[in-house]
Structure 1
């Protein structure tokens, strides 16, 4: 049995989680602090992958990132990067489907504390950057961490959009969910069950740790 699907899934999930964490955090920060024309439209667009079937998301990505697509043509001709039928396709799919979860968690995190603390720091001459990293970020960290964990769990379990964009090529795009699906298709239920258990353990461990950490932090907060 090859463990390449697990290594690939962990690599895709780790890169996607880091990218989505920072992009989602700063996007949520911007949107939660400012009102502008078209904000509702942009937010609805950001959250669209939550309500769309993953295969539809994958089809849209395939349309954009194939060699003749708007983005795919640019990446191929200018940078020599091929996304379709490549592990980068799985990475892009994971980023797109996980981003709304991080964005929602970050938005809730940045509106959960007293905003006057930031105003006081700014009136005392503290820069916006320093205010963010010394006040806003620590206060929003519990919500940001929740988004981080959910992003990782969603990324490692992504299937539908990955199937459409990256396909299934053993040794190249065979993430754990893809391996499970094609193992079932070929009648290898034993292999499918093994990888299903691995995914369940990873997902359950992430959620269990998050719940334990949240309760522990809440207990410390009440004691203070």
Structure 2
């Protein structure tokens, strides 16, 4: 039994979750602490991966990072590195599809903080960034943990966009989800069953952890 696709998926999910946490906190400062003129539009763009078909996400990523794009050509000129069908493509895809879940959790946590608390920190002279870091983030701890769990689960099970942008290259871009797909194509029901059971168990553990945190919050 080849366990590398599962290990690779866990590594990708962990790295992408760390990235979306950092991105969501930075964008959260910008969107929710500052008065951004196009706040609703920017937030809508950030949430698009949550509702777009995976094939559309994969196509957009290919158009952005492919060798026919300015971004792709620039990256290749500087680093001699082609992004599509690489480990980096796995991380980018997982980050894009899981980002909305983290941002939504950050938003829910921020909106649950009483306005009096936010106002008090600003009256004391705290800048929007300091207020967000030292006041809002500690009060959003439960929401952040929920966002981490949801983002990790989403990244771990990503399939459609990954298939288009990273492909299924043995030893390089084969993940747990694409490994199941490949096993079914090869009529290897044993491997597909074992991998599916493992992903179901991980998902059940994550859902249980989410419920525990929500119970603690209430």
TM-score, scaled to structure 1: 0.91
Q: Quote the offset at 1:115 in angstroms.
A: 2.4
Q: Quote the offset at 1:132 in angstroms.
A: 2.9
Q: Point out the more displaced range, 20-29 or 120-129.
A: 120-129
List aligned pairs for 1:131-146, cutoff 5 A: 131-146=131-146
List aligned pairs for 1:59-138, cutoff 5 A: 59-126=59-126, 128-138=128-138
> After the TM superposition, which segments of 4 or more aligned residues of structure 1 sit over 6 Å from their partners?
none
List aligned pairs for 1:176-191, cutoff 5 A: 176-191=176-191
Question: Residues 168 and 174 of structure 2 are in contact (CA less than 8 Å); yes or no, is this contact kept in structure 1?
Answer: yes
- Structure 1 residue 30 corresponds to structure 2 residue 30: yes
Residue 150 of structure 1 is matched in structure 2 by 150
Q: Quote the offset at 1:59 in angstroms.
A: 1.0
RMSD value, Cα: 1.6
Q: Quote the offset at 1:76 in angstroms.
A: 1.0
Question: Residues 29 and 107 of structure 1 are in contact (CA less than 8 Å); yes or no, is this contact kept in structure 2?
Answer: no
Deviations 1:20-42 (A, max 9, x none): 01101221232123343332222
Matched residue SS, 1:90: helix
Distance 2:114 2:174 in 1: 46
Q: Quote the offset at 1:129 in angstroms.
A: 4.5
Deviations 1:134-187 (A, max 9, x none): 321111111111111100000000000100011001110010001001111111
Matched residue SS, 1:172: coil
- Structure 1 residue 195 corresponds to structure 2 residue 170: no
From the superposition, tell whether residues 162 and 89 of structure 1 become closer, same or farther in structure 2 (CA, over 3 Å): same
Residue 6 of structure 1 is matched in structure 2 by 6
Distance 1:216 1:44 in 2: 30
Q: Quote the offset at 1:14 in angstroms.
A: 0.6
Distance 1:143 1:50 in 2: 18
Deviations 1:100-131 (A, max 9, x none): 11111111111111122132223223455543
Residue 15 of structure 2 is matched in structure 1 by 15
Residue 166 of structure 2 is matched in structure 1 by 166
- Structure 1 residue 208 corresponds to structure 2 residue 208: yes
- Structure 1 residue 44 corresponds to structure 2 residue 44: yes
